[in-house]
Structure 1
Amino acid sequence: MKLVFYGAGNMAHAIFTGIVNSNVVKSENIYLTNRSNEDALKKHAEELGVQYSYDDEALLKDADYVFLGTKPYDFDNLADRIRPHINEDNRFISIMAGLPISYIQEQLGTSNPIARIMPNTNAHVGHSVTGISFSNNFGPKSKEEVHELINAFGSVIEVPEDQLHQVTAITGSGPAFLYHVFEQYVTAGTRLGLEKSQVEESIRNLIIGTSKMIERSELGMDQLRKNITSKGGTTQAGLDALSQYDIESIFEDCLKAAVDRSVELASQDDDDDDDD
């Protein structure tokens, strides 16, 4: 299997590093390219054993999967450049936010199979939750191969394309929302009189340990919470204080705002296309 990455930025780097480390595809069968930063490509080649090239015809020849990892505003120029070299065996995987499958097909001038994936930054540690949608002509075997590629850097949830907005909010932006909650926890803990460094280190390990409990337990998070909540104890007192606030609505508003913005950005792309 030959993979080609157009764009080798942070997210693409996390993806092809995960694929290399999992041995799903041999490193010498992974090809990278970018606009002009050859030094970065050389570094990746030296560290991971991948290939790199600026020859679009050679890159696309016999390429099974082509990852589109350029910035969305650079995609039209990329499409113009590679369109003459696309062949019928190329299947495309977009990691570009906001660009629908129909728009990608139109700009590439092809009816080749296209998938859109929405990973998150946890891909850097092999734990991304990645949403994926496929064009209608993506065959079952190819879907299995793409799922295997994505599992190399985390887990996957397949949804219709119009539900990628929800996935973007819940898992794509999710790490930032959780980081923000953890920040507030650190601040509140520091106000109890402990040194900030002590609180930060304690909460860092608290998060890691709690995550491992969730990972290794067959119990749901609600039951895990109940298991450490003794009637009349300190945990119950803290939870009673939390219950005075409508936390559910806070998170509903947070996720809805992210979904609405995702829809808005996609609509802007469609409007720009109509104006051309």
Structure 2
Amino acid sequence: MRIVAVFGAGKLGEVLLSGLLRAGWSPDRLVATARRPERARELTERYGIRVVTNETALREADVITIAVKPQDAGVLLEDLGPKMPANKLVVSMCAGLPTSFFAKYLPEGTPVVRVMTNTPALVDEAMTAISAGSFATAEHLQVAEEMFRPLGRTIRLPETQQDAVTALSGSGPAYFYFLVEAMTDAGILLGLPRQVAHDLIVQTAIGSAVMLRESGEHPVKLREAVTSPAGTTINAIRELENHGVRAALLSALEAARDRAREIAAQS
């Protein structure tokens, strides 16, 4: 029975823990660490898992999952590195940090798998990208997939593409929420009650996403099916283009990717 330890069970670590438990994992297969005693009690009461010291987690777990903030990873790894058994798999959930960062602290040959998931993991609809470090094998990738598949969909990618993944899907939910917020305000401007506007937009977003996934059609084709000649939709799209919405999205995602690279450079 493989045991997974989550180091730094904050919001991100809790997403993984709760998802695995919803998927049927026994609490006996999970341990966590937490800096604050009140957080440790909260996790134990909420999920029935043990919250232990770093040393105990290292000794008992087969998979060491690092879920701390990127700026805190170095301090944690300085503590873990000298104590890390050589046969452990390390899974990083730290945005922006390459596997080479972990190699500076861990014993030579330690396999590291880098993952980028997103907050829809809370409803089992995450998109998780998984990449192998220098010493990670196909078997290690499979272990990571087994961990994150209950949270949604997984995909294997070269690590060189992880900064783009961070910008696109890691931060992606925020862009959709921003769009829903703006469209809700537009609905109010057009005379709808806020809740009505919200419900209309959310269901439209869900339906559109399902159509994209299930139909396999290119988004342009689906958009054209809604866009009648001289109709309402084409007039709205013209305004979006006039205001540079497409260009703004391209610039926004480039900025997110560049920030991910900055985090790596500063580490």
- For the criterion TM > 0.5, the same-fold answer is yes
Tell me, yes or no, if the aligned pair for 1:62 and 1:90 is still in contact at 8 Å.
Answer: no
State the one-letter code of the partner of 2:178.
H
Superposed displacement of residue 172, structure 1: 1.1
Measure, in 2, the Cα distance between the counterparts of 1:242 and 1:76.
44
Secondary structure in 1 matching 2:19: helix
Please name the residue that 2:32 is paired with: 32
Please name the residue that 1:272 is paired with: none
Identity of aligned residues (%): 29
Measure, in 1, the Cα distance between the counterparts of 2:28 and 2:65.
16
Q: Which moved more, 1:123-132 or 1:231-240?
A: 231-240
Please name the residue that 1:236 is paired with: 234
Q: Which moved more, 1:254-263 or 1:231-240?
A: 231-240
User: Structure 2 matches for 1:44-59, cutoff 5 A?
Assistant: 44-54=43-53, 56-59=54-57
Tell me, yes or no, if the aligned pair for 1:186 and 1:203 is still in contact at 8 Å.
Answer: yes
State the one-letter code of the partner of 2:252.
C
Measure, in 1, the Cα distance between the counterparts of 2:193 and 2:137.
57
Please name the residue that 1:178 is paired with: 176
Mind listing any 5+ residue stretches in structure 1 that lack a counterpart?
A: 270-276
Q: Structure 1 length normalisation: TM-score?
A: 0.87
Please name the residue that 2:78 is paired with: 80
> Does residue 139 in structure 1 map to residue 137 in structure 2?
yes
Please name the residue that 1:8 is paired with: 9
Tell me, yes or no, if the aligned pair for 1:62 and 1:89 is still in contact at 8 Å.
Answer: no
Tell me, yes or no, if the aligned pair for 2:126 and 2:151 is still in contact at 8 Å.
Answer: yes
Superposed displacement of residue 141, structure 1: 1.7
User: Structure 2 matches for 1:59-70, cutoff 5 A?
Assistant: 59-70=57-68
Structure 2 CA distance for partners of 1:238 and 1:31, relative to 1, 3 Å: same
Superposed displacement of residue 169, structure 1: 0.7
Please name the residue that 1:94 is paired with: 92
Structure 2 CA distance for partners of 1:78 and 1:243, relative to 1, 3 Å: closer
Please name the residue that 1:21 is paired with: 22
Please name the residue that 1:213 is paired with: 211
Tell me, yes or no, if the aligned pair for 1:92 and 1:115 is still in contact at 8 Å.
Answer: yes
- 1:225-268 CA distances to partner (integer Å, 9 max, x unpaired)? 23333334333333344344443322111111111222122112
- The number of residue pairs the alignment matches comes to 266
Give the alignment's Cα RMSD to 1 decimal: 2.1
Secondary structure in 1 matching 2:136: coil
> Does residue 222 in structure 1 map to residue 223 in structure 2?
no
- 1:107-152 CA distances to partner (integer Å, 9 max, x unpaired)? 2344310111111122211122122221122122221121121111
User: Structure 2 matches for 1:105-254, cutoff 5 A?
Assistant: 105-254=103-252
Q: Structure 2 length normalisation: TM-score?
A: 0.89
Superposed displacement of residue 33, structure 1: 0.8
Secondary structure in 1 matching 2:87: coil
Tell me, yes or no, if the aligned pair for 1:29 and 1:51 is still in contact at 8 Å.
Answer: no
State the one-letter code of the partner of 1:253.
S
Mind listing any 5+ residue stretches in structure 2 that lack a counterpart?
A: none
State the one-letter code of the partner of 1:258.
A
Tell me, yes or no, if the aligned pair for 2:116 and 2:128 is still in contact at 8 Å.
Answer: yes
